[in-house]
Amino acid sequence: MKKILGIILICTMIMGLMVGCGSTPTTQEEPNAEEKVVEEPKDEKIVIGFSQIGAESGWRTAETESVKKTCEEDPMIELKFSDAQQKQENQIKALRSFIAQEVDLIALAPVVESGWETVLGEAKDAGIPVILLDRQVSVADESLFTSFIGSDFVLEGENSAKYLIEKFGADTKVNIVELQGTVGASVANDRKKGFENIVNNNDNYKIIKSQSGDFTRAKGKEVMEAFLKAEGKKINALYAHNDDMALGAIQAIEEYGLVPGEDIVIVSIDGVKDAFLSIKEGKLNCTVECNPCLGPQLVKAAKDLKDGKTLPKWIKSEEDVYYGQKAIDAIPSRSY
Ligand code: GYE
């Protein structure tokens, strides 16, 4: 009996020693709770924060519609939209909100070209790429934005001037009044520069008055009234940086008692539907197209960035110049 008890005791002691050395428990440690492997869902949406200037013109509302429609129709995209009511401070607030929400991409239509370094620096520090839509920013460090999707505004200004020279002839003396776009906006600066590139090479062509109409019909009418009061029948031509200001000016010309499109030849930029209809009525002479339908290009750029592709610094819109029968024939196919 004693022998059996001794053997049991020795076995017990040996087992105790085994357990005491290793830290390994006698039974397999319960596996940790299921390691939660967070996998990026393959179909995660791309979140775009879009800071839009406002709704100052038919062109602007067409651009907004293009971006919203393209994003709504794409299951891969989620759009956060902000309307700045024409104020830069509202755009800066919107960008800071997008950064706080950690969007994947910021789209910015900058109302003016200066004053963006700080907030674009904040977006860069947050690792959020910025794509500029339809207007540019003037920054020393161009790495603050990834790409600009928009038109060649200098070319649009040059084409406007070339139309007038084609219409009047290089040897005719032509007094021009100019309705500029929003003060400080890159598009206004470039359209002015392009126009002057051409007319400043011909002494017969003189810009006798130039003032901002802020891209709106109401302001365009108001400034044209002042031009007519000051210069009256001396005015041979109007160059408007967008169709909305030209359409406002046409009202002022009619109320003054002159015939728009005949007494004063009018060229403007954008190519909105109302401009084509005004050409058909013979009141506007020419519209230089500036494509606002940038939604598809923005969404493609967002997907390319997600796929790790490098974007060109400038994604240019292709555009045309419309007047006479060509403009009338194009009306049924116009999308904005
Ligand atoms: O010409 C005008 C709008 O930035 C290109 O802004 C855009 C301009 C466009 O208000 O109608």
CA dist 197 and 155 (Å) reads: 10
Atom of ligand 1 nearest to the CA of 153: 5
For residue 280, give the amino acid letter: K
Query: Which carries the bigger pLDDT value, residue 15 or residue 43?
Result: 43
290 lines ligand 1 (CB under 6 A): yes
Q: Which range scores top for mean pLDDT: 7-16, 38-47, 105-114?
A: 105-114
Q: Is the pLDDT of residue 20 over 50?
A: no
Residue recorded with tokens 């794409």: 74
What does the block give as tokens for 245? Answer: 């200001």
Q: What are the CA-CA distances from residue 252 to residues 58, 188, 241, 248, 249 (Å)?
A: 19, 22, 17, 7, 5
DSSP state of 309: P
Mean pLDDT, the chain, as a whole number?
91
CA dist 332 and 58 (Å) reads: 17
276 lines ligand 1 (CB under 6 A): no
- 174 with 236: CB under 8 angstroms? yes
| Least-confidence region, from 14-18, 42-46, 153-157, 300-304 | 14-18
Chain-centroid distance, C-alpha 254: 34
Overall average pLDDT of the 303-326 stretch: 96
135 lines ligand 1 (CB under 6 A): yes
pLDDT of 155-195, one tens digit each?
A: 999 999 999 999 999 999 999 999 999 999 999 999 999 99
Instruction: Report the share of the chain in percent with pLDDT over 70.
Output: 87
What does the block give as tokens for 270? Answer: 């954008």
60 lines ligand 1 (CB under 6 A): yes
59 lines ligand 1 (CB under 6 A): yes
Q: Is the pLDDT of residue 14 over 80?
A: no
Residue recorded with tokens 């400043």: 200
pLDDT of 242-262, one tens digit each?
A: 999 999 999 999 999 999 999
Atom of ligand 1 nearest to the CA of 215: 10
Instruction: Specify the fold of 153-290.
Output: Rossmann fold (3.40.50)
191 lines ligand 1 (CB under 6 A): no
Q: Is the pLDDT of residue 29 over 50?
A: no
What does the block give as tokens for 27? Answer: 């039974």
Instruction: Spell 297-334 as b/e; 16+ CB within 10 A means b.
Output: bbbebbeebeeeeebeeebebebebbbeeebeebeeee
134 lines ligand 1 (CB under 6 A): yes
Q: Is the pLDDT of residue 3 over 80?
A: no
Question: Can you give the pLDDT at residue 27?
Answer: 38
Element (H, E) at 77: strand 77-83
CA dist 297 and 307 (Å) reads: 15
Q: What is the DSSP string of 40-69?
A: PPTTPPEEEEEEE----SHHHHHHHHHHHH
242 lines ligand 1 (CB under 6 A): yes
pLDDT of 125-140, one tens digit each?
A: 999 999 999 999 999 9
Name the residue with the closest Cα to ligand 1, atom 7. Answer: 134
Q: How many residues does the chain have?
A: 336
Q: What are the CA-CA distances from residue 207 to residues 1, 62, 148, 200, 211 (Å)?
A: 126, 31, 31, 9, 11
Q: How far, in Å, from the CA of 190 to the mean position of ligand 1? A: 12
For residue 246, give the amino acid letter: A
Name which of 322, 308, 321, 301 is nearest 150 in CA terms.
301
Q: Is the pLDDT of residue 16 over 70?
A: no
Q: Is the pLDDT of residue 21 over 80?
A: no
Question: Can you give the pLDDT at residue 317?
Answer: 86
Region(s) of the chain under CATH 3.40.50.2300: 46-150+292-317, 153-290
Atom of ligand 1 nearest to the CA of 243: 11
212 lines ligand 1 (CB under 6 A): no
148 lines ligand 1 (CB under 6 A): no
pLDDT of 192-218, one tens digit each?
A: 999 999 999 999 999 999 999 999 999
Kindly indicate whether the domain formed by 46-150+292-317 is annotated with CATH number 3.40.50.2300: yes
160 lines ligand 1 (CB under 6 A): no
Instruction: Report the share of the chain in percent with pLDDT over 90.
Output: 85
Element (H, E) at 149: strand 147-150
Name the residue with the closest Cα to ligand 1, atom 11. Answer: 59
Q: pTM, whole model, 2 decimals? A: 0.86
Mutation choice for ligand 1 from 51, 56, 60, CB with most ligand atoms inside 8 A: 60
Question: Can you give the pLDDT at residue 226?
Answer: 98
Q: How far, in Å, from the CA of 87 to the mean position of ligand 1? A: 15
CA dist 249 and 156 (Å) reads: 20
